[in-house]
Amino acid sequence: MKSAMMLASVTLSLFIWPVSLKRIPVMISHFQHVCPSAPPQSDPPAPSDDRLPVERGRAGGAPVRTRGLAPFVAASADLRRLLALGVDVSGWDRRPGIPQLVLRLQWERDMAPRIRFLHDAGVPSDRLAAFITRNPLIFKERLDDLQVRVNYLEAKRFTREQISSVLSRDPFWLMFSTARIDRRLGLYAGLFGLRATELRQLAAKCPDLITSNVQHVKDSLFTIKEEFGFERAELKQILLGKPKVFMLSRWALQDRLQYLHNEMGLTHELIAESPNVLTYRSWRVRQRHLMLNMLRRDQYDRSRPGYVSLDRLVGTTDEEFCRDVAQVPVASYNEFLKTL
């Protein structure tokens, strides 16, 4: 049959694919620019664009315009120091202004004092690289300002551990002026009725909530409080238990609460007791719940036998869930998932 022969030729051609069919992005091509034996001077002149950093460090070479920081590594000892520290500079070229800033920095004048400052303020050495990767703009801030912002935290009776937690969890905290941080803390204390201790706990646990978009948090609050009718005490419980819930997109929050409350029939108290469940995607909750429902083990009431806690429902791996909660082999669970 004609079509059968055509199909046979299709399947035969599978086995004679050429070896290199696709551009393989190996790092070597990048390093050819760096290697002193092969300077990229033969490259055709790129169109003039002032937004791209210009390399002038190479003796005798014309300025080279580039889209990455790789060609500057051979010339810039400071950049190599950052790399040795473990800073991931690969994403910086996508952020406007960052490469220009970094290439103008000097290690002794700009970088070393601030890195030392961060370390003294409580950012552990293994978090320094991640900090700088996310926020290289810290090198632009004045040291006095940074000191004032840390002093503010001390004045607000944050413990040393809490300050360390704030700074290492949120690299952008120190970019905010003292007045702005103070306004934000006051706002959250008012919105959720937090006492000073609780506010400090919140800031230490999730400092990025304080520095994130306030309107977004207000929207999440509206969804939980007005649309789903949680009590003020429950809101506080959710906030202190899992502050990240207020940083979720409103759509996701509605979707998850809708499933947990309206379809699974969980009470507000139960959800507020384990707010962790709100950070899992609703399909994960749904899959686990339907499996338990089929086995008639979906019993989330603590006062009755066969209680399954929400944390065990979603916070476990599939193996743990099947072994401890559903008590079925993982293969059966996988088969069940294909019937959904």
Q: What are the angstrom distances between the C-alpha of 103 and each of 52, 56, 73, 77, 334?
A: 12, 10, 10, 11, 52
Least separation in angstroms between CB 317 and another protein? 10
Choose between 1 and 155: whose C-beta lies nearer to another protein.
Answer: 1
Least separation in angstroms between CB 239 and another protein? 29
How many Å apart are CA 294 and CA 211, to the nearest integer? 44
Least separation in angstroms between CB 73 and another protein? 6
Contact 331, 338 (CB under 8 A): no
Q: Which of residues 179-218 bind another protein (CB under 8 A)?
A: none
Contact 214, 181 (CB under 8 A): no
How many Å apart are CA 35 and CA 291, to the nearest integer? 58
Identity of the residue numbered 238: I
6 binds another protein (CB under 8 A): yes
Least separation in angstroms between CB 43 and another protein? 17
Choose between 283 and 307: whose C-beta lies nearer to another protein.
Answer: 283
Question: How are beta strands 54-55 and 64-65 bridged, if at all?
Answer: antiparallel
64 binds another protein (CB under 8 A): no
Choose between 249 and 334: whose C-beta lies nearer to another protein.
Answer: 334
59 binds another protein (CB under 8 A): no
Interface mask (CB under 8 A) for another protein, residues 70-109, using x and -? x--xx-----x--xx-xxxxxx------------------
Least separation in angstroms between CB 6 and another protein? 6
**Which has the closest alpha carbon to 275: 316, 305, 297, 246?**
246
Q: Which of residues 268-287 bind another protein (CB under 8 A)?
A: 283
How many Å apart are CA 149 and CA 153, to the nearest integer? 7
34 binds another protein (CB under 8 A): yes
Which among 21-29, 40-48, 119-127, 269-277 is the span making contact with another protein, rule CB under 8 A? Answer: 21-29
Half-sphere exposure (Cβ direction) of 229: Cα atoms closer than 13 Å: 5
Q: Which of residues 306-325 bind another protein (CB under 8 A)?
A: 318
Q: What are the angstrom distances between the C-alpha of 162 and each of 122, 145, 166?
A: 9, 20, 6
E strand map for 11-127: 54-55, 64-65
Judged by CB under 8 A, the number of residues near another protein is: 46
How many Å apart are CA 187 and CA 181, to the nearest integer? 10
14 binds another protein (CB under 8 A): yes
Among 16, 36, 42, 142, binds another protein (CB under 8 A): 36
Backbone φ and ψ of 50, nearest 5°: -70, -15
For another protein, the binding residues (CB under 8 A) are 1, 3-4, 6-8, 10-11, 14, 17, 19-28, 30-31, 34-36, 68-70, 73-74, 80, 83-84, 86-91, 283, 318, 334, 337-340
